[in-house]
Amino acid sequence: MGSKNLSEFQRDYEAGQEALERGRYRESVQHLEKALKLVSPLTRYSAEAQILLVTAYQGLGETAAAIALCQKLTAHSVPEIRRQSQEILYILQAPRLQRPPEWLSKIPDLSRVPESDRTYQQGSNPVKSAPRVEAVPVNSRQIDGENRKFIWITLVALLLSLAGLVWLGR
C-alpha cells in the first residue's frame, strides 16, 4: 500500500468515524466504503474500518448488511478483530425485547400546533423581582469575641490532650 493510498485511507477513515460519532450514518458509510477500496481487505486497517462500517449500517437500520459484514469479519486473520466481530454479531442477532406500552413515554406531536396560537407563546411581561432586603449591621467585636472563646477552648483541649499523651507515654 503506497503512502498516498494510506493518507487517503486515513482521511476517509477519520471522516467516516467522525460522521459516525455525530450520527450521520449515511455519510459515514460513504467515507468508510471509499476508504476500504484503498486498502487490502486482509489488513488490520481494513478490518477496523469494516467494524465501524458495521456500526454505521446498524445506525441506518440495515441490520442484514451489518450482520453479513460481521459474519465475514469473524474469519479475519487478526484475533482481536475476530473476537470483536463475534461480540458485535452476538448483539446484532440478539432477540429484540418486547416493551410494554406503559414503559414508553408518549411525546406529543407539536408540528400541528400553530405558532401564532397565543396559549403556546411565551409571555412578554417582565418578571417582577422580590423587594430588596437591607442587610442587618453586625457588630464585628461581638464576632471576634465569640471566635476568641472558641480558639481558647480549642487550645486548652489540645494542651490537655497532649499532657494526657505524655503522661500515658511514661
Write the pLDDT tens digit of every residue in 13-59. Answer: 999 999 999 999 999 999 999 999 999 888 888 999 999 999 999 99
Q: What CATH number is given to the structural domain containing 15? A: 1.25.40
Asked if residue 82 belongs to a domain, the reply is yes
Is residue 119 in some structural domain? no
Q: In this structure, what C-alpha cell is assigned to residue 140?
A: 464585628
Is the CB of residue 56 less than 8 Å from the CB of residue 14? Answer: no
Indicate the helix (H) or strand (E) that contains 63. Answer: helix 63-73
Instruction: Determine, yes or no, domain membership for 160.
Output: no
The answer to whether residue 77 is domain-embedded is: yes
Structurally, the chain folds into a number of domains equal to 1
* 13 belongs to a structural domain: yes
Range of the domain at 75: 3-92
**0.75 surpassed by pTM:** no
What cell does 127 get?
A: 418578571
Q: What one-character DSSP code corresponds to residue 61?
A: T
Is residue 53 in some structural domain? yes
Whether residue 169 lies inside any domain: the answer is: no
One digit per residue, the tens of pLDDT, for the chain of length 170 reads 567 788 899 999 999 999 999 999 999 999 999 999 999 888 888 999 999 999 999 999 999 999 999 999 999 888 999 999 999 999 999 888 888 888 888 887 777 766 655 555 565 666 677 778 777 776 666 666 667 788 889 999 999 999 999 988 87
Residue 131 lies in a domain: no
